[in-house]
Amino acid sequence: MDTLLDPIDQRDPELGDDRLSDRDSADADDAVASWREPESPLLELPDDNEPTSVIGRYFRDAHRFNLLGAESERDLSSALNDALETLLRQVPGAECSALTIRDVLELVEEADVQLDEAGLRAKAAIESCRSRLIESNLRLAVHLARGQQNRGLPMPDLIQEGNVGLIKAVERFDPSRGFKFSTYAYWWIAEEIKRAIKRGRRVVRTPDHVVDEIRKVQAVEARLARSLGELPTREALAAATDTTPARIEELYRFARPEVSTSMPIASDGDLTLADTLMDSESEPVDQVMGDRDQQRVLDQVLSMLKPREGEILRRRFGLDRREPETLQMISADLGISRERVRQIEKAAMMKLREHSADFAHLAGN
């Protein structure tokens, strides 16, 4: 019987969001403090046998940027906070739940306001602070990546995922909340690397919110298996997780390892999986062409929107995904509030209504 217990690590089934608990903050503070010690071996260049290795070159490049001391970090956070507040005042009646680079710049872009001299200076200051925060913490991303070696991903991939986490931390950092950036970045980098390891080396990337959903179902499956003495049915899992058997089946498909169509299935290696796929399983040509025409029209319509607006509409209405997603799913994946997702969706729908005459003719093409 299939089970969700094996493909994705079921430990730590609940992932946090960007709200650091006191314990998280203290743990990260301790880790960052030890990492910053001048005599710490973590700051030394990696002992690569090959001096021109990718990791060695990257670490040497990262060493070109100085680490931020505690006082410098506070000064930079204060400057960022002032610049964000100045830029936010350029948008009349703007409401921003978090004073972050991403949210403020997005509000300014959506409002399409003409920035005055103070606004332009503030925007330039924000970009400068952003670059400085990233550059001064590149070594932290390498350090955390090195701590997760030999867990299924090559070192360059781990470093790349660490850098993704670092960039997310910069975009979502709210200096008004009082956290030190290095503490916040440590948490985000570690989480991004952990998520990448759980996803594994998949050709088709499973969205993070789906990975989280799988892990929660895994935890329930393990608990039911212990109490029942056997693996639970799809129906039992669906009832215990407040979802449907169809969704449970879909999560099973997500969790299965990918199989290459070039995989040999005969001992001589001449016959591959692709050779056994029957033409009868293919869709009729006219149906495929019809689907392509619909997709073309959809792409043209959504091209009138900003990329994030189009993505949210696609996900909310299931336009090219398996099923529509809730505000909570999109909020968790994009790292913005549910109210912000709702606002973007509403703005996108209003744009489409305003331009409905521009694309009405597409349906007849």
Concatenating the DSSP letter of every residue in 137-206 gives THHHHHHHHHTTTTSSS-HHHHHHHHHHHHHHHHHH--GGG---HHHHHHHHHHHHHHHHHHH-S-SSPP
Most confident range (mean pLDDT) of 8-17, 104-113, 350-359 is 104-113
Tracing tokens 């710049």 back to the chain, one arrives at 105
Q: Domain 208-279: state its class.
A: mainly alpha
What is the residue-averaged pLDDT of the chain?
71
CA distances from 214 to 14, 109, 204, 330, 331 (A): 11, 36, 16, 16, 17
Sequence-distant (≥ 6) Cβ neighbours of residue 6 within 8 angstroms: none
**What is the spatial distance between Cα 64 and Cα 13, in angstroms, rounded to a whole number?**
38
Looking at residues 169-184, what average pLDDT do you find?
84
The pLDDT assigned to 68 comes to 83
Q: What sign does the dihedral 142-144-145-150 (CA atoms) show? A: positive
| % of the chain exceeding 70 in pLDDT | 64
The pLDDT assigned to 332 comes to 80
**Under DSSP, is residue 303 helix (H, G, I), strand (E, B) or coil?**
coil
Q: Which band of pLDDT confidence, cut at 50, 70 and 90, is reported for residue 18?
A: very low
CA distances from 252 to 180, 227, 228, 320 (A): 40, 21, 20, 20
Residue-range domain boundaries for the chain:
45-201, 208-279, 281-364
**What is the spatial distance between Cα 15 and Cα 26, in angstroms, rounded to a whole number?**
18
Least confident of 39-43, 153-157, 335-339: 39-43
The pLDDT assigned to 45 comes to 47
CATH tag, 45-201: 1.20.120.1810
Least confident of 93-97, 155-159, 327-331, 334-338: 93-97
**What is the spatial distance between Cα 73 and Cα 229, in angstroms, rounded to a whole number?**
54
Sequence-distant (≥ 6) Cβ neighbours of residue 121 within 8 angstroms: 86
pLDDT digits (tens, 9 = 90+) for 221-233: 888 887 887 778 8
The pLDDT assigned to 125 comes to 93
The pLDDT assigned to 122 comes to 92
**CB-based burial, 304-316: b 16+ in 10 Å, e otherwise:** ebbebbbbbbbbb
The pLDDT assigned to 43 comes to 45
Q: Which fold has domain 281-364?
A: Arc Repressor Mutant, subunit A (1.10.10)
Concatenating the DSSP letter of every residue in 222-247 gives HHHHHHHSSPPPHHHHHHHHTS-HHH
pLDDT digits (tens, 9 = 90+) for 92-109: 876 666 678 888 888 888
CB 125 within 8 A of CB 117: no
Per CATH, 208-279 and 281-364 having the same topology is answered yes
**pTM of the entire predicted model:** 0.50
The pLDDT assigned to 10 comes to 33
Q: Residue length, the chain?
A: 365
pLDDT digits (tens, 9 = 90+) for 5-15: 444 333 333 33
Residue 312 pLDDT more than 50?
yes
The pLDDT assigned to 124 comes to 92
The pLDDT assigned to 26 comes to 53
Concatenating the DSSP letter of every residue in 26-53 gives HHHHHHHHHHH-TT-GGGSPP--SSTT-
Tokens linked to 284:
């009729």
**What is the spatial distance between Cα 241 and Cα 234, in angstroms, rounded to a whole number?**
11
